[in-house]
Amino acid sequence: MTFTQWFLFFLLVQVIHFAGTWKLYQKAGRQAWEAAIPIYNAVILMKIINRPWWWVILLFIPIVNLIMFPVIWVETIRSYGRHSTTDTILAIITLGFYIYYINYATDVKYIEDRSLKPRTDAGEWISSILFAVIAATIVHTYVMQPFTIPTASLEKTLLVGDFLFVSKFHYGARLPRTAVAFPMVHDTIPVLGVKSYLTKPQIPYLRLPGFEEIERNDIVVFNWPVDTVNAFQQYGDGKYYYKPIDKKSNYVKRAVGIPGDSLEVRAGKVVVNNEPLQLPGRAKTQFTYIGTTNGQGFNPRYLYEEYDITDGYYHDSNTNQFYIKALTESAYNRIKNHPNVTSIERYSDSLGSKDRSIFPNNGKLNWNNDYMGPIYIPEEGVTVDLTAESMPFYKRIIETYEGSEMGINNKLSLNGTQVLLNGQPTNSYTFKQNYYWMMGDNRHNSEDSRTWGFVPENHVVGKPVFVWMSWDANAQGFFNKIRWDRVFTTVKGDATPTSYLPYFLILLVILIAFNYFKKRRKNA
């Protein structure tokens, strides 16, 4: 739905509200016209049902309002003496239209000093749970969201088993695109394994102001742009699903290219604007290494403990060849001197070899994971030439990211060498939003922009800022334990992460002791 369509829908809701409540407003000592004025009518209704005015704000917060509307319906009928379970159920299952019956077909009386205390313990519990869910939904959607690192693409910066807090306000919180969704879950309702949202209606894209822009080398959580894969835990049925932007799978990578950059990958190393990418000190890139031994292999547990190898190791006792899926440069410099190693070298795709899985996925370029580019990272407001050669890079941007996902029916095609946009010849295109190039530090074990291309700005979720827990469930199966040195550490920084857990525990003890002695002194 466009902003115009939502505005018309808003006006329709006002008409429905007025038609169903104007007599109830009069019975509460108000004027009938007060039920017709948008927003003002909601403020007056809060006075009628004896609830704070700021509840009106909750009615305009997507997802939260889905919880608030039933609450308002029930509170309204209870303000006119309708307290029975039947009344409550009817108000909810009729989507509030039961109020029409109360308004026109009954002679109810307004209860001015209605008690707001629930009449049963169950009612008290339900009320507490509802507002706990509302508060948590606001925080989860607009402030801070928990996130778990599921894959090794950013090892050794972020580890598998890290539990993060992702800030929504650094880059600006994004309003949900899905207007109707189950609160505080992503695309699937846990346990039930069913879709958690309705595809339509959708809210137009809107991002609240943030206080910083995405900088090169920032670690970013975003929605996987090309996600149409099987969802809802029904793997194996061969189906694919359209997903709204905010319900696409969450990914976390490093923004190695920002809008306006020219990016290349040379021998696995990222080059931006003809300069080697300078990663922060905490970042450690990893590559695949192959080599041979003198006939003696390695104990996987020893490799884990001594060289921090977590992504896999394979040794062929027949050929004495071994394969390490991911290894840092510092670990390589140590393991190459191991007495069992006769040779070891970093694996790299050959310059000029062609990999059809590499963006733009047309099989015409001699690009691969280790050699690709240069490629321009689109910037909002910048105009580029559209030719038969450049079209594959921008086709998905124009047709999908700035087309169907924005409610625009864009179609890009070729007539010989002439580019056609919606059937009309064109030789240029101006980008409507910024784009980013996201990659994992684990260069040979990361599905990233090299495979599926640009990440649109409207797919950005937030910035990981804090590791509150880290669980070591190593792939080799040696340890299942808490990484205490990573608990309560920051994500960004050049130095080795410092745990603030001791300071937190000291502060917690001080607060407990203060409250204890304060209570004891009060009772003395």
More confident position, 363 or 97? 97
Is there a single domain that holds both residue 485 and residue 393?
Answer: no
Q: Give the pLDDT confidence score for residue 406 in this predicted structure.
A: 87
Q: Give the pLDDT confidence score for residue 168 in this predicted structure.
A: 95
Q: Is residue 126 part of a domain?
A: yes
Residue 238 has pLDDT above 60, yes or no: no
Quick check: 364 and 318 in contact, CB under 8 A?
no
Is there a single domain that holds both residue 103 and residue 123?
Answer: no
Q: Which of 298, 331, 346 is the last residue in one of the domains?
A: 346
Q: How many CA atoms lie within 13 A of 437 on its CB side?
A: 27
Q: Is residue 351 part of a domain?
A: no
Quick check: 326 and 311 in contact, CB under 8 A?
yes
Is there a single domain that holds both residue 208 and residue 129?
Answer: yes
Q: Is residue 401 part of a domain?
A: yes
With bands split at pLDDT 50, 70 and 90, how would you rate the model's confidence at 275?
A: very high
Distance (Å, whole) CA 292 – CA 296? 10
Q: Is residue 276 part of a domain?
A: no
Quick check: 497 and 284 in contact, CB under 8 A?
no
Q: Is residue 73 part of a domain?
A: yes
Is there a single domain that holds both residue 72 and residue 134?
Answer: no
Beta strands in 46-196 (DSSP E): 144-148, 162-167, 188-189, 194-195
Distance (Å, whole) CA 471 – CA 192? 26
Report the percent of the chain where pLDDT is more than 90: 62
Is there a single domain that holds both residue 470 and residue 388?
Answer: no
Q: In this structure, what DSSP letter does residue 497 have?
A: P
Residue 118 has pLDDT above 50, yes or no: yes
Vertex 400 angle, CA 436 and 394, to 5°: 55
Total number of domains in the chain: 4
Is there a single domain that holds both residue 418 and residue 445?
Answer: no
Residue 511, exposed/middle/buried by CB under 10 A (0-12, 13-18, 19+)? exposed
Is there a single domain that holds both residue 253 and residue 131?
Answer: yes
Q: Give the pLDDT confidence score for residue 103 in this predicted structure.
A: 93
Q: What is the rounded average pLDDT of the residues 509-517?
A: 89
Is there a single domain that holds both residue 399 and residue 508?
Answer: no
Angstrom CA distances, 443 to 75, 149, 312, 447, stand at 57, 17, 14, 9
Q: Specify the CATH number for the domain of residue 238.
A: 2.10.109.10
Q: What is the rounded average pLDDT of the residues 209-221?
A: 94
State yes or no: is 253 an active-site residue: yes
Distance (Å, whole) CA 327 – CA 306? 12
Q: Specify the CATH number for the domain of residue 310.
A: 3.30.70.80
Exactly one of 153, 167, 446, 470 is catalytic; name it.
Answer: 153
Vertex 213 angle, CA 210 and 216, to 5°: 155
Q: What is the rounded average pLDDT of the residues 14-28?
A: 94
- Phi and psi at residue 28, in whole multiples of 5°? -90, 10
Distance (Å, whole) CA 279 – CA 284? 8
How does the average pLDDT of the chain come out, rounded?
A: 89
Region of poorest pLDDT, from 95-104, 140-149, 234-243, 248-257: 234-243
Query: Phi-psi bin for 265: left (phi > 0), alpha (psi -120 to 50), beta?
Result: beta
User: Which domain covers residue 192, as residue numbers?
Assistant: 119-258+439-523
Q: Is the dihedral of CA 202, 204, 207, 208 positive or negative?
A: negative
Q: Give the pLDDT confidence score for residue 232 in this predicted structure.
A: 45
Is there a single domain that holds both residue 196 and residue 127?
Answer: yes
Report the percent of the chain where pLDDT is more than 70: 95
Q: Which of 346, 370, 395 is the last residue in one of the domains?
A: 346
Q: Is residue 490 part of a domain?
A: yes
Q: Which of 116, 148, 182 is the last residue in one of the domains?
A: 116
Is there a single domain that holds both residue 168 and residue 54?
Answer: no
Q: Is residue 392 part of a domain?
A: yes
Is there a single domain that holds both residue 125 and residue 232?
Answer: yes
Is there a single domain that holds both residue 444 and residue 513?
Answer: yes
With bands split at pLDDT 50, 70 and 90, how would you rate the model's confidence at 120?
A: low
Q: How many CA atoms lie within 13 A of 215 on its CB side?
A: 8
Q: Is residue 263 part of a domain?
A: no
State yes or no: is 115 an active-site residue: no
Exactly one of 253, 325, 395, 463 is catalytic; name it.
Answer: 253
Closest CA to 429 of 461, 391, 471, 458: 391
Q: Give the pLDDT confidence score for residue 468 in this predicted structure.
A: 93
Distance (Å, whole) CA 163 – CA 116? 40
